[in-house]
């Protein structure tokens, strides 16, 4: 089991292309209310190292996380800059 506090401050790196996606800071979680399991991490606006504009947030599915290390979280997302499964919030 992982707590959000344990994730805070860790950098997200994409396994596919080695790109730094951002850091988990004041992130939110999407949690399945029936099971209590984390479904996704939401990186807030302005936390994405310039990959998205200031009006967008990034949802990273929990199953895209490959490994949680001491300082880095490795995720597997195809084509970080143009991934079509990213969901945007206005």
pLDDT of residue 69: 93
Question: Over the chain, what is the mean pLDDT?
Answer: 76
**Which band of pLDDT confidence, cut at 50, 70 and 90, is reported for residue 45?**
low
CATH of 4-75, one of 3.30.479.30, 3.30.420.40, 2.30.30.240, 3.40.50.300: 2.30.30.240
Residue 79's nearest CA partner among 22, 19, 23 is 19
- Does residue 2 surpass a pLDDT of 90? no
Q: Most confidently modeled of 6-15, 21-30, 78-87? A: 6-15
Listed by start position, the domains of the chain span 4-75
| CB distance 78 to 87 below 8 Å | no
Span 66-84, mean pLDDT? 76
Judge whether residue 86 has pLDDT over 50: no
């Amino acid at each position: 089991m992982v707590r959000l506090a344990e994730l805070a401050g860790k950098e997200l790196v994409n396994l596919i292309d080695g790109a730094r996606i951002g850091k988990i800071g004041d992130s939110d979680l999407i949690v399945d209310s029936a099971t209590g399991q984390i479904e996704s991490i939401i990186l807030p606006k302005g936390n994405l190292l310039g990959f998205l504009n200031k009006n967008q947030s990034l949802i990273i599915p929990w199953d895209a996380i490959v490994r949680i290390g001491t300082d880095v979280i490795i995720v597997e997302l195809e084509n970080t800059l143009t991934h079509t499964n990213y969901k945007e919030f206005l």
